[in-house]
């Protein structure tokens, strides 16, 4: 039972760590793509909610854009505020606050991984006090007939 619990804990830790790394890599790749075709403009913040912040900006052809996924890296924005944004010329709905980038994902992802392992490792250590957790040897029988 302890071995199964240990495997589950390590699996959860490894999965969350992998997802955090993929999140950071994805943010850097998206930023690199956006930065290669970035156009800078001023946008008005329309709404701020937990899951997204909507902005409206105009492209050089005069079209108004309100990206359905919101703006990237919106921390500190308030409704009605005018803010400099950068958007992808090829995909105008891909927009981020100017001057902000994927490096902002390092702190939350790193903190998540750090604190998760700070919880998992002491639990594994506590479980290990009662014997090895990951042994390949099968348990020995105490029966005299098997000796």
Note whether residue 147 is domain-resident: no
Note whether residue 82 is domain-resident: yes
Note whether residue 144 is domain-resident: no
Tokens of 129: 């006090």
As for how many domains the chain has, the answer is 1
Note whether residue 145 is domain-resident: no
pLDDT, one tens digit per residue, over 30-55 is 999 899 999 999 999 999 999 899 99
Q: Residue 100 maps to which CATH number? A: 2.40.50.140
Could you tell me how many residues make up the chain? 147
pTM over 0.85: no
CA distances from 118 to 78, 123, 137 (A): 35, 9, 29
3-state class (DSSP) for residue 35: helix
* Average pLDDT of the chain to the nearest whole number: 90
Provide the residue range defining the domain that includes 11.
2-134
Note whether residue 126 is domain-resident: yes
């Amino acid at each position: 039972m302890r071995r199964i619990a240990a495997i589950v804990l390590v699996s959860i830790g490894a999965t969350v760590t992998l997802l955090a790394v993929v999140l950071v890599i994805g943010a850097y790749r998206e930023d690199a793509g956006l930065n290669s075709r970035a156009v800078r403009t001023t946008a008005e913040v329309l709404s701020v909610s937990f899951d997204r912040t909507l902005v409206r900006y105009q492209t050089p052809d005069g079209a108004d854009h309100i990206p359905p996924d919101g703006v990237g890296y919106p921390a500190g924005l308030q409704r009605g505020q005018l803010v400099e944004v950068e958007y992808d010329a090829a995909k105008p709905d891909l927009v981020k606050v100017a001057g902000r980038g994927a490096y902002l994902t390092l702190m939350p992802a790193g903190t998540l991984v750090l604190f998760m392992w700070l919880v998992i490792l002491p639990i594994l250590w506590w479980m290990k006090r009662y014997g090895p957790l990951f042994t390949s040897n099968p348990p020995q029988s105490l029966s005299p007939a098997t000796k």
